[in-house]
Amino acid sequence: MNYYKANHAYYCGVDLHARTMYLCIVDGDGKNVLHKNIKTKPELFLAELAPYRESLVVGVECMFCWYWLADLCEEEGISFVLGHALYMKAISGAKSKHDKRAAERIAMLLRSGMFPQAYVYPKSYRATRDLLRRSMHLMQKRSELLSPIKNTKHQYNLPDFEKRISYKRNRLALDTYFADLDPSMQLSMQMNVRLIDTYDDLLRETELHLTHHAKACEPQAYYLLRSIPGVGEILALVMLYEIESIERFAKVGNFLSYSRLVRAQKESAGKRTGYAGSKIGNRYLKWAFSEASVLFLNQSSEALTYKQSLEQKYGKPRALSMIAQRLGRTVYGMLKHNHAFDLNRFLPA
Q: Note the pLDDT of residue 348.
A: 83
Q: Note the pLDDT of residue 94.
A: 66
Q: Note the pLDDT of residue 290.
A: 94
Consecutive 10-residue averages of pLDDT for the chain (349 residues):
91 95 94 95 96 94 93 96 86 75 93 93 92 94 93 91 89 88 92 94 93 86 94 93 93 94 78 74 94 94 93 92 95 95 88
Fold of 3-120: Nucleotidyltransferase; domain 5 (3.30.420)
Q: Note the pLDDT of residue 162.
A: 86
Nearest to 348, CA basis, from 108, 313, 227, 260: 313
Using one digit for the tens of pLDDT, what is the confidence trace for 6-20? 999 999 999 999 999
Q: Where are the domains of the chain?
A: 3-120, 125-217, 226-346
d(CA 25, CA 9): 10
What is the model's pTM? 0.87
Using one digit for the tens of pLDDT, what is the confidence trace for 26-35? 999 999 999 9
